[in-house]
Structure 1
């Protein structure tokens, strides 16, 4: 399972990036920065002041801490649940959980790509805070509220990671950590280059379709049990290429 786990870790990282670059998150990204820092969107996108950028980055880090508390906490809880279920059942339960996770990821891939409409995931359940609490603690609170809401884009993607964590409890926490890192990297990069987010928004729909296809392929491989074999082939290919270059 090592090869499969390695591939799943990279997929979890990509899932985090996909969540941030989705049409549900990226377009409102400047508004969130404005809300947590108190700086207007127009000033954010036009300013090159070092102090403002430093303020943006510091608040972004605290916002992501709040996001991480929720996402990683859920990952740890689901991993324990998956381990408990596998402990109660026979050895076949691991295969059963993987197949269930595979089916769920396929369905979510169809939804993320826009080929399937699921009403329950179209409803946003974000916490509404009219006035942000003062300081960095308040920014953490906003991050917790953001992560606690199941948006039409983030919900299905993160739910797929949770199903993956339940099917492989030993790596479940790591999957959610990698998901958070994947979400945080583009968040921090675009915070520094805030004016660059506009052109990415234009292609967010295409990004989601590509991400949906990847999720479907991942689900099929997980359901059929081919994920380990594919991972081993890729690992051997990388090792042969690396050793060949050294030689």
Structure 2
């Protein structure tokens, strides 16, 4: 696993993907759908009630940092969990393809009205 990761990092594909992902994130953040939500997000994350307090900037940055770390941890754990599940399902790939193929055919017949009991 470690060799595969090292090879992927050194191949150059990841080096190109990281800046492209960052640019896509910036573009999506600056979109008209998201940018108006930023003040509410910062207010929610920081919990500010008195904007004249001197430690507001530090409190906001701490809240934002913890929020981002929480999301990163959740999605990293989801990725690891689904990767493990996918690796486990790979063992049963042939059987799953056949069972799900029969299920798709069955659903298609039901959609065409050929299975009147449904």
Question: What TM-score do the two structures reach when normalised by structure 1?
Answer: 0.27
Higher relative contact order (CA 8 A, sep 6+): 1
Q: Is the radius of gyration larger for structure 1 or structure 2? A: 2
Question: What TM-score do the two structures reach when normalised by structure 2?
Answer: 0.50
